[in-house]
Structure 1
Amino acid sequence: MFFFSDLTGDPTVGKTALAQIFRSDGAHFQKNYSLELFIFDSAGKELFSEMLDKLWESPNVLCLVYDVTSEESFNNCGKWLEKARSQIPGTSLPGVLVGNKADLAGRRAVDSAQAQAWALGQGLEYFETSVKEMENYEAPFHCLAKQFRHLYREKVEVFRALV
């Protein structure tokens, strides 16, 4: 079984670092061959917009990342979410909002409660991570896998009802 997750957000918020640390740490996330997780890192560049449109044709879940020290990266989350959801109109796109660089508490520009409230309003789960300190980086991906599993079970039930 395969599912696709878009990993998106502004440049330099830590998307690539988050994906790399998650992929490379096999000791904490054992590979299960019945589920393959494909993570597309958008690199946050508009330059790749046309290519992203092709990759984003049918995401199952979304991982939206911002930098907790950058209010602009948080404010741009709405734009990235709209872009991802526009690829599958009429369908809900579950996912997570990840505030990265939580280790930089002294430079924090986005309040956790504000981000959590926004995520909730958008139907997203909220997590804060520090890739640098290797803190909580697995939680968003485990949540995405659970969300996909739920979607998969719903589709199976629909097919069973048709038979």
Structure 2
Amino acid sequence: LVKWTSSCLLMFCNDGAHFQKNYTLVSHVELFLFDSGGKELFAEILDRLWEQPNALCIVYDVTSEESFNNCTKWLEKLRAQTSGMHIPGVLVGNKTDLIDRRVVERNQAQEWAETNGLEYCEISVKEMENYEAPFRILANSFHQLYKEKVETFRSLV
């Protein structure tokens, strides 16, 4: 399950000329993306969709301390749904193009991500800067989980 900001999800889904929708790694990885846009309105739907997530992407606005602080709430909600299992994922700082309005520093967010077992990257969807990085991280995380499950299965045979 992926939590994503609407503009980034639209970029990913509709702009195939700039970003490949499917990854060819050792095996094919397809991502199911659910975009809540951070809205509480979707909280009930998320409870049903978060039954067995494989990876997580939390996006915050680097110009909003409230947006960054809400990342903790979303992560706690996911962990409550998954009985504390470690879910790999990525924390994404968006709107890096708004340099003069930035209030959440990169090192602060990086530290939060590391503390919570997530990778970290920054993007500007508006300027189309690095927006593909979170998707690569998610695909690689999912592929790693797949490889681990295959190895576990092989060891049982």
Determine if the TM-score, normalized by the shorter chain, exceeds 0.5: yes
- List gaps (5 residues or longer) in structure 1: 9-14
Pairing 1:8-157 to 2, within 5 Å after superposition: 8=4, 15-27=5-17, 28-29=19-20, 31-32=22-23, 34-157=28-151
Q: What is the CA–CA distance in structure 2 between the aligned matches of 1:30 and 1:49, rounded to whole Å?
A: 27
Q: Mind listing any 5+ residue stretches in structure 2 that lack a counterpart?
A: none
Q: Deviations over 1:43-71 (max 9, x none)?
A: 32222211110111111000001000000
Matched, 1:162 2:152: no
Cα deviations across residues 135-156 of structure 1 (Å, max 9, x unaligned)? 0000011011000000011011
Q: Which amino acid aligns with 2:9?
A: A
Cα deviations by residue, 1:101-135 (Å, 9 ceiling, x for unpaired): 00000000101111001111111111110000000
Give yes or no for contact 1:101–1:132 (8 Å, CA) kept in 2.
yes
The normalised TM-score by structure 2 is 0.92
- What is the TM-score when the length of structure 1 is the normalising length? 0.89
Which letter does structure 1 place at the counterpart of 2:22? Answer: K
Quickly say closer, same or farther: Cα 1:139–1:78, change in 2 above 3 A: same
Instruction: Let me know the Cα RMSD of the aligned residues.
Output: 1.4
Higher strand share: 1
Which string of whole-angstrom CA distances, capped at 9 and with x for unpartnered residues, describes residues 8-56 of structure 1?
5xxxxxx011111012222331535832211011132222211110111
Letter of the 2:6 counterpart: T
Letter aligned with residue 21 of structure 1: M
Q: Point out the more displaced range, 64-73 or 48-57.
A: 48-57
How far residue 161 of structure 1 moved from its aligned partner, in angstroms, is: 0.7
Supply the AA of the counterpart residue of 1:128.
E
Q: % of aligned pairs identical?
A: 61
Structure 1 residues 146 and 52, CA gap change in structure 2 (3 angstroms): same
Distance 1:90 1:102 in 2: 31
